[in-house]
Amino acid sequence: MTERKQRNPSPHPPLRIVLADDHPIFLIGLRAVLERAPGLSVVGEASTPQELLELLQKGACDVLVTDFMMPVEQQNDGLRMLESVTRQHPHLPIVVVTMLNNAGLFRSILDLGVMGLLSKASLAAELPAAIAQVQRRRSYVANSVRQILALAGEVGEHRLGDQEQLSPRELEVTRLLAAGRTVGEIATLLCRSKQTVSAQKVSAMRKLGLSNDAALFLYLQEHGLA
């Protein structure tokens, strides 16, 4: 496990990134991609789940970028590792990168509250954008992952239903969510309580057959609302 810090001439503090992958070569590649992006600083690296948990306990970071599978001894369950991270650091935005292409596994990852999901094959093009999105509490699902989910019936009109099912207020809330507004901002804008807006969001997701925020943003993207 190593810790790294880099200088940033910007008056704004850099976004602190922790990287985790069991392949040293890939860690180097991740770092190289991020060091080319302004305003980002790699503050720590880990190569096992245990190292990652220890690193997150030691110091603060703004976004975690982690491989899904980091086998160690008899433990190679990526979902269990993510469950541990999300339980101990519930507000930490997580971007998962993987070479896997299983739609069911993708859905399980997103159901844990992971906000970013990328294929390792498209990192250079998508990783900085994914970090920017999840840091703003917005989901980012790579195009390649979305295609796999669509082919498996995880997204698309036949699975998600029709937005005409939504009430005018529910549709209003989902459009504002697609524009990047938070529940609190929407409540202020529409002169409603946060509880009312949250309930309308949940109701809209239930009508559309969506189980989490990532699936909602996928739907909004697929239908040209995001």
Decide the pairing of beta strands 140-141 and 94-98. Answer: unpaired
- Nearest CA to 2 among 27, 33, 32? 27
- Nearest CA to 172 among 203, 151, 211, 146? 203
Residue 74 domain boundaries: 15-151
Burial class (CB in 10 A: 0-12, 13-18, 19+), 13: exposed
Of 42-46, 95-99, 103-107, 195-199, which range is least confident? 103-107
In a domain, 216, yes or no: no
In a shared domain, residues 130 and 84:
yes
Percent of the chain with pLDDT over 90: 23
- Nearest CA to 115 among 225, 219, 217, 17? 217
In a shared domain, residues 111 and 58:
yes
pLDDT of 14: 87
In a domain, 225, yes or no: no
As for how many domains the chain has, the answer is 2
Residue 79: pLDDT band with limits 50, 70, 90:
confident
CATH number at residue 83: 3.40.50.2300
Of 91-100, 174-183, 193-202, which range is least confident? 174-183
Residue 70: pLDDT band with limits 50, 70, 90:
confident
In a domain, 10, yes or no: no
In a shared domain, residues 88 and 128:
yes
In a shared domain, residues 144 and 183:
no
| Residue 22 DSSP label | S
Which DSSP string do the residues of 92-136 spell out, in sequence order? --EEEEES---HHHHHHHHHTT--EEEEGGGHHHHHHHHHHHHHT
pLDDT of 206: 81
Q: Are 50 and 2 in contact (CB under 8 A)?
A: no
Q: Residue 48 is encoded by which pair of tokens?
A: 């096992």
In a domain, 123, yes or no: yes
CA 211 to chain centre: 15
Determine the Cα–Cα distance for residues 32 and 28; give it in Å rounded to an integer: 6
In a shared domain, residues 81 and 191:
no
Select from 131, 151, 171 the last residue of a domain: 151
Of 53-62, 109-118, 121-130, which range is least confident? 121-130
